[in-house]
C-alpha cells in the first residue's frame, strides 16, 4: 500500500511513550501498516505489509 493512502488515517502513539520527545506513530489498515516520526510527521512514512507488521509486533511482545 502506498503511504499516501494513510493521509486520513487514525494515527496512534504508544501509551508507553509518556510524552517522550522521540516517539513514533502507527496507522493500520487491514492490508498494511505505516509508521512515522512524531517529531517530523511531514518527512514521510514507512509502509509494511499487514502480516509482516503483525509478526514484528508479536516478536517485540514476546
Locate cell 499487514: which residue? 50
Strand-strand pairing, 24-28 and 46-49: unpaired
Q: Is the dihedral of CA 30, 46, 44, 12 positive or negative?
A: positive
Q: What is the pLDDT of residues 10-62, one digit of tens each?
A: 999 877 766 666 688 899 887 889 998 888 888 888 899 989 999 988 998 88
pLDDT at 62: 86
pLDDT at 1: 41
Q: What is the pLDDT of residues 46-58, one digit of tens each?
A: 899 989 999 988 9
Burial 24-41 (b: 16+ CB within 10 A, else e): bbbbbeeebbbbbeeeee
Of the candidates 37, 31, 43, 34, the residue with the CA atom closest to the CA atom of residue 9? 34
For the chain, the domains span 3-61
Amino acid at each position: 500500500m502506498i503511504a499516501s493512502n494513510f493521509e486520513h488515517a487514525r494515527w496512534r502513539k504508544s501509551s508507553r511513550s509518556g510524552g517522550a520527545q522521540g516517539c513514533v506513530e502507527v496507522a493500520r489498515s487491514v492490508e498494511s501498516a505505516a509508521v512515522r516520526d512524531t517529531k517530523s510527521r511531514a518527512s514521510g512514512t514507512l509502509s509494511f505489509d499487514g502480516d509482516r507488521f503483525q509478526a514484528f509486533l508479536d516478536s517485540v511482545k514476546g
